Structures are given as C-alpha cells and as structure tokens.
Amino acid sequence: MTYTLLGISLGIGSLAEHDLNPTTIQEVIRGLTDNFAMAFMTTVVGLPVSAALRAALLVAYSRAQERSVRQIPYQGD
C-alpha cells in the first residue's frame, strides 16, 4: 500500500515540476505513466500476497482453536 501511494504521489508531484505545453506534454505523460505503473504493479503484487497471508493466518488460527477445544476435558455436571 505504501508503494502504491508513493507511485501516485510521485506521478501527481511530477505535474508540478513541469510546464505543460505542446513540446513537453510527451515527457510529462511518460513520467506519469512510469510512476502510475509502479503504483499499479505494487497493487497487483500486494493484494494477492496479503490475501494469501491472511488466509494462512486464518487457517492457523482455526487449527489452534480446534486443538485448544479438544484438549479441554469435559467436567460433567
């Protein structure tokens, strides 16, 4: 998420560094697309990785819960 925001910030920040006119527009667009591409790729990588890690943690937690329930003997009335 940090690199996604960094890429977007760099892209928007690069607009302030350049004058927009017909001779510089290609360079400005190239810089924007480079920074936005970084933002997009970090999202493409980060979302599936975070989903996989979350799933692994949920499975581990569920297994730990099952083990703790099985180990508690029933005391009866």
Residue 28 is assigned to a structural domain of this protein: yes
Q: Domain range spanning residue 13?
A: 2-71
Residue 18 is assigned to a structural domain of this protein: yes
Residue 62 is assigned to a structural domain of this protein: yes
Instruction: Categorize the per-residue pLDDT at 57 as very low, low, confident or very high, splitting at 50, 70 and 90.
Output: very high
Q: Quick one: what percent of the chain has pLDDT higher than 70? A: 86
Residue 76 is assigned to a structural domain of this protein: no
Distance CA 36, CA 11 (A): 6
Total structural domains in the chain?
1
pTM: 0.55
Whether the Cβ atoms of residue 39 and residue 14 lie closer than 8 Å to each other: no
